[in-house]
Amino acid sequence: MADSERGRLRAVAWTEILPWLSLFRTFRLAIGPRMLVLSAMAILLTAMGWTIVSKVFSGTDDTALIQRIGGMAPAEECPWLLITNSVPNRPICFDEDSDTNSNMPSGTSIGPVPLPGQIAIVAQGLSRPFSGIFSERATFQSLSYCLLTGLWVLLVWAVFGAAITRTAAVQLAVREQVSWGAMLGHVRARWKDYCGAPLIPLIAVLGITLLMLVAGLLLRSGPTLWLAAIAWPLMLVGGGVMAVVLLGLMFGWPLMWATISSEGTDAFDGLSRGYSYVLQRPLHYLFYVVVAGLFGALGWLLVSNFAAGIVYLTYWAASWGCGQELITDIMSGSESLDAVAGSGATLIRFWVGCVKLVAVGFLYSYFWTASTAIYFLLRRDVDATEMDEVYLDDNDDGQAYGLPPITRDAQGAPVVNDTPTDPPAPMPDEPETPPAE
């Protein structure tokens, strides 16, 4: 903005010059209480579902193979510990080697959730069950395991991921908060589309696989193997189609959720935009992902250490009353505690785990929020659509967004009726002017 009288530059609209700067708004949205709670609930439900499925398949002969293919934790390992161990008991600002902190256990490091590449890590974790389907070592049992865990992930995040992306889309576009009722109504009306968008490519791959399976049966004997060899170019074409479909799905599936949340459309539109935006602007997409990943790494460093600081300072303050030895036993779950004290210590560690679970929820809330921001940027690059355009349901915030009703006052002049108590009366037709003689 320039001052017309003095010709001096007063302000620069940096988001118009560098639209990708809007990615830096995602951290503030991702650490919102609603986003963190939704992500934490979804993480817990996902881990519980995976554990139940792992228990079902734990007695099979392919248990080890299932764990390697699916990339899951062993069935006997508690998912609650896997989640809470992602956040240490001590922030990095406290020196573990100092005398004042030597009796305070640091807990585990941030190893299970590495700092760089947050978006890629979360995306890989959510898509890992489906990627295990295509392992060359897959058996019928491992295939069933991957399908069940994958469908569970899809069902859980079709609800919670949809709620997060819907909230993020409205806040990024029009800077307005979506009420809980409007958010849940949007998810309830479109959860099938959220589930169906990534399933459509997988169903297409399944159909091609079944066709190629018939040709694979010809390989079982010498004479028919020659027939399969002659038709092998067609097999390669089918493999190429599957590769293209899976490549677009691997990079574009987060944008499908953002499309449905931003446009209010169905699974087919989410599928179409998810593929077209990635294929038309691959370098733009890569740049946005890198920027969002680096910013997310800094955000995780802050969030994880803030949660660790809460845990550490709480233990530290309590240690002045009970002593450092007892607080150390409580933190580590030592067997030296009696039954009553041990159950109380377990409850304390549960509350500490809740704090850590919310902190881990930031990774997923940021993933979905950043995916929505990246969708807006790609939509602007491909379709030249402004960043502030978003579909608003009639029940968002309890009102419909549109033009207010227009009525006439006592003198017949048109006026805007901002708060109508009754249905506005239609504007009367203008009287016809008699033709001049």
Residue in the block written with tokens 């250490």: 305
Instruction: Say how many Å lie between the first and final Cα of the chain, rounded.
Output: 56
Instruction: Give 114 or 272, the one with higher predicted confidence.
Output: 272
pLDDT of 10 > 80? The answer is no
Longest CA pairwise span in the chain (Å): 111
Across the range 147-173, mean pLDDT stands at 91
pLDDT at 297 over 80: yes
pLDDT, tens digit (0-9, with 9 covering 90-100), for 127-144: 878 877 887 777 778 788
Nearest CA-CA partner of 379 in 218, 267, 269: 269
On whether the CB atoms of residues 296 and 119 are closer than 8 A, the answer is: yes
Percent of the residues in the chain that have a pLDDT greater than 90, as a whole number:
31
Token digits for 349? 């560690």
**In the predicted model, what is the mean pLDDT of residues 217-229?**
80
Q: Is the pLDDT of residue 398 over 50?
A: no
The two structure tokens encoding residue 393: 């349901």
At 426, list the tokens: 């239609």
Q: How far is CA 90 from the centre of its chain?
A: 27
CA atoms within 13 A on the CB side of 309: 9
Q: pTM to 2 decimals?
A: 0.79
The CA-atom distances, in angstroms, between 121 and each of 143, 206, 339, 405 are 23, 26, 40, 50
How would you class 400 by CB atoms within 10 Å of its CB: exposed for 0-12, middle for 13-18, buried for 19 or more?
Answer: exposed
What is the arithmetic mean of pLDDT over 48-69? Answer: 67
The answer to whether residue 73 scores a pLDDT higher than 80 is no
Among 94, 70, 90, CA closest to 151: 70
- Residue 384, pLDDT > 80, answer yes
What is the chain's mean pLDDT, rounded? 79
Give the residue-averaged pLDDT of 306-317: 90
User: Quick one: the chain helix, strand, coil %, rounded to 5?
Assistant: 70, 0, 30
237-262: pLDDT as tens digits:
999 999 999 998 988 888 999 999 99
**307 contacts 356 by C-beta, under 8 angstroms:** yes
Q: What is the residue extent of each domain of the chain?
A: 27-194+281-383
174 HSE (CA, 13 A, CB side): 14
Q: What is the average per-residue pLDDT within 178-189?
A: 89
| 357: Cβ contacts below 8 Å, ≥ 6 apart | 40, 43, 44, 83, 84
